Amino acid sequence: MFVLAPAGIPKAPFIDIVPRVLATVLRHHNQCHPVEEQVRLRMALHAGEVQFDRHGVTSAAVNHTFRLVDARPAKTALADSPGNLALITSRWFFEDVVRHSLTMDPATFRPVWVSEKETSTVAWIALPDHSYPPDPTVLTVPPESPASPIPYQVPSAMFSMRGGIPEFVGRHDELRALLDTVTAAVDGSARRIAGYTVDGMAGVGKTAFSVYAAHHLAARFPDGRIFLELYGHSPTQAPRDPADALASLLVATGLDRACLPRELDDRARLWRDRIAGKRVLLVFDDAASHDQLRPLLPGSAYAASTQALVAVLTVHGLSTRHSKLATQPLRNAVSNRPLRRTRWALCNGRGAPVDTLVLPVPSPRKSDTGA
Indicate whether 148 belongs to any domain.
Answer: no
In a shared domain, residues 181 and 61: no
pLDDT on residue 129:
92
Q: What are the angstrom distances between the C-alpha of 60 and each of 14, 57, 119, 318?
A: 20, 10, 10, 58
The answer to whether the beta carbons of residues 126 and 81 sit under 8 Å apart is no
Which residue, 89, 108, 139, sits at the end of a domain?
A: 139
**CATH number of the domain where residue 234 is located:** 3.40.50.300
In a shared domain, residues 200 and 293: yes
Indicate whether 234 belongs to any domain.
Answer: yes
In a shared domain, residues 110 and 168: no
Which residue, 139, 174, 192, sits at the end of a domain?
A: 139
Helix, coil or strand: residue 349:
coil
Indicate whether 364 belongs to any domain.
Answer: no
Domain ranges, residue 279: 156-359
Indicate whether 8 belongs to any domain.
Answer: no
Question: Rounded distance, CA 272 to CA 49, Å?
Answer: 39
pLDDT on residue 231:
86
In a shared domain, residues 169 and 120: no
Indicate whether 168 belongs to any domain.
Answer: yes
In a shared domain, residues 169 and 131: no
Indicate whether 125 belongs to any domain.
Answer: yes
In a shared domain, residues 302 and 232: yes
The answer to whether the beta carbons of residues 346 and 182 sit under 8 Å apart is no
In a shared domain, residues 242 and 277: yes
In a shared domain, residues 190 and 316: yes
Q: Which amino acid, 207?
A: T
In a shared domain, residues 178 and 323: yes
Question: Rounded distance, CA 206 to CA 175, Å?
Answer: 11
Count up the domains in the chain and report the number: 2
In a shared domain, residues 317 and 186: yes
Question: Rounded distance, CA 59 to CA 355, Å?
Answer: 52
Indicate whether 230 belongs to any domain.
Answer: yes
In a shared domain, residues 131 and 164: no
In a shared domain, residues 186 and 47: no
Q: How many CB atoms lie within 10 A of CB 273?
A: 20
Which residue, 79, 110, 139, sits at the end of a domain?
A: 139
Indicate whether 325 belongs to any domain.
Answer: yes
Length of the chain: 371
Strand ranges (E), 245-352: 279-287, 307-314, 327-330, 339-343
First vs last Cα of the chain: how many Å apart?
A: 53
List per-residue pLDDT tens for the chain, 371 residues long. Answer: 778 888 888 999 999 999 999 999 999 999 999 888 899 999 999 988 777 666 566 677 888 898 899 898 999 999 989 899 999 999 999 999 999 998 899 999 999 988 876 678 889 999 999 999 999 888 886 665 555 554 556 677 788 888 766 666 667 787 888 788 777 776 765 445 566 777 767 777 778 888 888 888 888 888 888 888 888 888 898 999 999 999 999 999 888 888 888 899 888 888 887 877 677 888 888 888 878 888 887 754 333 333 444 444 443 344 433 333 222 332 332 333 333 433 333 333 333 444 555 555 454 444 444 44
pLDDT on residue 188:
62
